[in-house]
Amino acid sequence: MDIETLSEINVLKETERQKISVVVGADGKRYLRRDMLNEKREIYKALSDVNHVGVPKIFHVSLTDRTTVIEEYINGIPLSEYIEKNKLGKGKLRSLAIKLISAVEAIHGENIIHRDIKPQNVLIDRDGNIYLVDYDIARIERNELKKDTDTLGTFGYAPIEQFGIMPTNKKTDIYAFGMTLKTLLDRFGVKGNLYRIAKKCTRLDPDQRYESASAVKRALRFGKVKNLLISAVLVLCLAVGVLIYNTLKQPTRNTNIPKTELSLQDEPQNIPDEVMADEIPQPEEATTETLTSPEEDWRRFRGFEKGDRENGYYELRNNGAICTFATDFPYEHIIFAEDMRKTGTIILGKNETPVKADVSLNNGVLTLSLDDGKGHRFNHKFYYQGNHQYTAYQSSDMRKNADLMCYDFDGNGCNELLVGLNECALTVNGGELYSSFNYSVGWCICYDEQNGFTLCQGDMFSVNSSFAIYSNNDGVVNSHWVTADQPVGYYMKDNMIMPLF
């Protein structure tokens, strides 16, 4: 860029050490020009490598007797001013927080520490986009520093380490982000999960804060519910739970449900984690036929017929009440009640490979056999192994249910197979099926055509609730039971199921 062709039209700030002005090019496009006495090329060179909508683009950096920077002109107002003029609800605040922490995540990717995140340094335009601006005291993170050479920062937003006690690092920005979020929440009287996230960001000990901006973003997305259906389900679950608690001593049965199906089953005894292939009924030999029916292209589970044992649940409304994985949008499930076996085809892999499946649920054990017809087979028994502590919500008349779901758990564009199992008490009222959960446990199976099937390490566990999977597809499976003391969230990395918190 030829900066000599830019014409100054407005001076925004001018001191002995810095001048900030709005300039315009020959094409009429506006830019922001910074002339700084300090050597700032390193920061702005690094910023020029950041490609994120929330970070102004850098078009030019040069050094003469001053550092000159030409950057994107943002036509917006400070967030501090925006919240004075607008009333923001919890959903809008969460959205703004996610956008801001995404910008922080982007600059941290270039090892840039902003060191002055606050509402005054966040601009918001008329479309609701936010921008993290003002990198005057930013620096490049260096592990060899024992403490910062300067103690610049804004009181109330800067953490204790920013005042010369220890070197600043990326967690310094996490603290300032948390204080900014607290400012917004306090302005509108919002508490709950957002406030808990802000509190963790702002702990005095950096080791007790979130490890990274990415971890903060996952925590924020964990609580994000796009559809009011989830809230309705929560209220319904809570109300039904109270009803069951008060009436379970004299349970009623619905004659539409066969008594044999709803009888209690014994807990599994001495079942190994892994079993040999010949111990599990094998699916029919898989073929590599092409499934070309246009109206079925979207379906992931094909050919699974309803069995007699299934009808007791499925002739009732609200049969999704027994799902381990609850969604507010049409991800496809297949659900299993006790003493049920089904065979069919599951579409997996980047090449949409038809995988033959044999699935059965018996005595609380889900037995799964898969065969892709390419020499890859998977055989496993899934059951709760007692490896998580929880307090049972119900203690009698409990049943096991299971379901499978195709879901892009790691966000790589290819569906994984989620396997879920739950324990719950069932009740019927007016033809509706209701449940009260003790726990849900889930696993994940990855598949690709070259390497076959991989059972991911670890599992997911939720107390008194099914899992909730949200349509933003951020690779997180969440517990949505709002009264839980500790929310539960999971994501997948390198074929390992990782806890969000």
What is the distance between the alpha carbons of residues 440 and 460, in angstroms, rounded to a whole number? 8
- Say whether 479 sits in a helix, a strand or coil: strand
Give percent above pLDDT 90 in the chain: 37
How confident is the model over 459-491, as pLDDT tens digits? 988 887 778 775 444 445 554 433 333 445 787
Three-point CA angle 487, 490, 496, nearest 5°: 150
Q: Which domains are present in the chain?
A: 3-72 (3.30.200.20), 76-222 (1.10.510.10), 228-265+275-499 (no CATH)
Nearest alpha carbon to residue 18 among 36, 6, 41, 5: 36
pTM: 0.48
Q: What is the DSSP string of 246-287?
A: HHTTS----TTS-TTTTS--PPP-S--SS--GGGSPPPPPP-
Write down the residue that tokens 């600059």 correspond to.
107
What is the distance between the alpha carbons of residues 190 and 182, in angstroms, rounded to a whole number? 9
Nearest alpha carbon to residue 31 among 65, 66, 58, 13: 58
* pLDDT, mean over the chain: 77
* Residue with more model confidence, 236 or 7: 7
Assigned token pair, 121: 């340094």
Nearest alpha carbon to residue 18 among 131, 135, 115: 135
Nearest alpha carbon to residue 304 among 344, 274, 336, 339: 344
For residue 500, the model assigns a pLDDT of: 66
Confidence of residue 258 (pLDDT cuts 50, 70, 90): very low
Distance in angstroms between the alpha carbons of the first and the last residue of the chain: 46
How confident is the model over 420-456, as pLDDT tens digits? 999 888 777 767 777 788 888 999 999 999 999 999 9
Asked if the model's pLDDT at residue 180 lies above 90, the reply is yes
Write down the residue that tokens 């606050």 correspond to.
118
CB 321 within 8 Å of CB 434? yes
Asked if the model's pLDDT at residue 277 lies above 80, the reply is no
Max mean pLDDT among 146-150, 236-240, 487-491 falls in 487-491
Write down the residue that tokens 């049969």 correspond to.
319
- Say whether 221 sits in a helix, a strand or coil: helix
Confidence of residue 145 (pLDDT cuts 50, 70, 90): very low
Write down the residue that tokens 């499925």 correspond to.
314
What is the distance between the alpha carbons of residues 407 and 286, in angstroms, rounded to a whole number? 22
For residue 313, the model assigns a pLDDT of: 59
What is the average per-residue pLDDT within 312-316? 58
Q: What is the DSSP string of 319-361?
A: GGGG-SEEESS---EEEE-TTEEEEEEEEETTTTEEEEEEEEE
Alpha carbon distances (Å) from 13 to 20, 22, 71, 135, 283: 5, 10, 15, 15, 73
